[in-house]
Amino acid sequence: MEQRMDAAAVAPEGYRAVFGLETYARGNVDSTLYHLIKLRASVLNGCAYCVDMHTRDAVAEGESSRRLFAVSAWREAPFFTEPERAALALTDEVTRLGEHGVSDEVWDTAAKHYTERELADLLIAIATINVWNRIAVATRKQPPAQV
């Protein structure tokens, strides 16, 4: 598959604006949780570039490969805390936003584990990775061949 365009080169101001959201999210969401959210949304959206990047970043920051592999089946995997599960469920519903939005059950569970500010920050992180995924998938952005 060949990359269709380099969105950062074609629309640098737009790219910088999204990067501003990314910088905010990275600075306001726990690093471990941040990587789990980024990886989960990227798996759901089929974004190879972002799956590769967030997996490598998480490993570099000390996350176990076992937990990273299990993100695709997080509901069945015993490796995640209750707060992480709440954030992953929120990531699933925000990423797959359907006609009825985010269910009360998922929202209420997340609200038991996170303050309003933390929930807002999680939503910004989830929304931001979904923007990146859509840009990367639409343009067929490829992960580097060599790391």
- 64 in any annotated domain: yes
Domain coverage including residue 85: 10-139
CATH number at residue 15: 1.20.1290.10
pTM for the whole thing? Answer: 0.94
22: CB partners within 8 A, 6+ apart: 128, 132
Alpha-helical runs (H) found in 29-115 = 31-45, 48-60, 65-70, 82-95, 104-113
Give me the tens of pLDDT residue by residue for the chain, a chain 147 residues long: 789 999 999 999 999 999 999 999 999 999 999 999 999 999 999 999 999 999 999 999 999 999 999 999 999 999 999 999 999 999 999 999 988 899 999 999 999 999 999 999 999 999 999 999 999 999 999 888 876
- 104 in any annotated domain: yes
Task: Pull the structure tokens for residue 41.
Answer: 């949304």
